[in-house]
Homo-oligomer: A and B are copies of this chain.
Amino acid sequence: MKLTRAVPVATVLLCAVPVFAAAPPAPTAHRPPTAGEVLAASTAADWRALDPQNTLYLELATGRVVIELAPEFAPNHVANVLALSRGKYFDGLPIERAQDNYVVQWGDREGKKPGGTAHRTVAAEFERPLRGLALTRLPDPDTYAPEVGLVDDFPVAADPITGRAWLVHCYGMVGAGRGNDVDSGGGTELYVVIGQAPRHLDRNVTLLGRVVSGMELLSVMPRGSGPLGFYERPEQYVPLKSLRVAADVPAAQRTNLEVLRTDTPTFVAYLEARRNRHEEWFKVPAGRVDVCNVPVPVRPAAGGSATK
């Protein structure tokens, strides 16, 4: 029996961003700071509270999923989803689809539920002008687009020649399912990416937000055995308790979150720490980073400022 005692595996694959960890050791003169060290050294001004008027709470039996909406990219879809939420359209509707390495999706597959003042369909919002966006560009090549980066905490691609920009399908992004007609979506069916970024969907379907908290409640949904991962039996459906606009929820019941600003020197340092990891475990820093491997850190808001 040749086995010797194993090394401590708690240090294996150290990668999670320890936003809430105790203060790490200070960076030494020998190496640049790690992501954890950059965040530990951040100030209140490096963070931005979520806007409760553009934040949704998806309530499941297992807990709350927090979704930040992206009105800069899909203003009409966002307005429609806000109206649907306020009309309690989603309450009681099921998660009806979970396709492995792809998406979970909920909504009214039969399309029969009344929607209050909302619309069943909204014209596509696949892209928008690049002009007017504060895009923090990533320095590394992207397989799919001429430029990629972040606008606030949303992953974005852009083409400076056409002057167009669009949200990209990273893990946790939320989109509006549609049929073959490009204008047949509207937010009554919403999906969330739960696997490898399906970037071939970029500019083919309207993205309107991202999950900033609670992804682990969606990503574990049992995968559906029907075509495209749809559940085949109604008893497999997972009902939504409700989908609410955060601003409509009493302040004491809100989940007040802040996201790291992406237009600051702190973010540039964080990005560099993601491109080249200097934690002891790493031996070969990648020197590059994919836009979908830069999840923007989220933390509880200090002093509940998100409720103001």
Q: Is the CB of A201 within 8 A of B115?
A: no
Q: How far is the CA of A198 from the CA of B12 in the complex (A)?
A: 14
In the assembled complex, how far is the CB of residue A3 from the closest CB belonging to chain B, in whole angstroms? 4
Closest B residue to A141 by CB, please name it: B141
Instruction: State in angstroms the CA–CA spacing of A271 and B136 once bound together.
Output: 32
In the assembled complex, how far is the CB of residue A155 from the closest CB belonging to chain B, in whole angstroms? Answer: 11
The contact string, 1 if C-beta is below 8 Å from chain B, for chain A 116-151, is 111111000010000000000000111110000000
Main secondary structure on A side of the interface with B? loop
15 new A-B contacts at CB < 8 Å, known A144-B288, A204-B282: A2-B117, A5-B112, A6-B108, A7-B180, A8-B179, A9-B111, A13-B102, A16-B228, A101-B295, A141-B141, A141-B142, A179-B281, A195-B195, A196-B196, A200-B289
Chain B residues whose CB sits within 8 angstroms of the CB of A100 once the complex forms: 215-216, 219
Q: Which residues of B contact A171 (CB under 8 A)?
A: 101, 195-196
Residues of chain B within 8 A (CB-CB) of A191 are 12-13
User: Does A12 lie within 8 Å of B203, measured CB to CB?
Assistant: no
Count of A interface residues, CB-CB < 8 Å? 94
A18 to B227, CA, bound (A): 9
For residue A65, CB closer than 8 A to chain B, the reply is no
The residues of B that contact A181 with a CB separation of less than 8 Å are: 7
- Is A110 among interface residues, defined by CB-CB distance under 8 A? yes
Q: How far is the CA of A290 from the CA of B292 in the complex (A)?
A: 12
Residues B182 and A283 in contact, CB atoms below 8 Å apart: yes
Is A258 among interface residues, defined by CB-CB distance under 8 A?
A: no
Which residues of A pack against B, CB within 8 Å? 1-16, 18, 99-103, 105, 107-121, 126, 140-144, 170-172, 177-182, 184, 188-189, 191, 195-205, 215-216, 219-223, 227-230, 274, 277, 280-286, 288-290, 292-293, 295
Report the separation of the CA atoms of residues A101 and B211 in the bound assembly, to the nearest whole angstrom.
Answer: 13
Contacting residues, chain B, for A292 (C-beta < 8 A): 196
**CB-nearest residue of chain B relative to A200?**
B286
Determine if B114 and A188 form an interchain contact, defined as CB atoms under 8 angstroms apart: no
Q: How far is the CB of A207 from chain B (nearest CB, A)?
A: 12
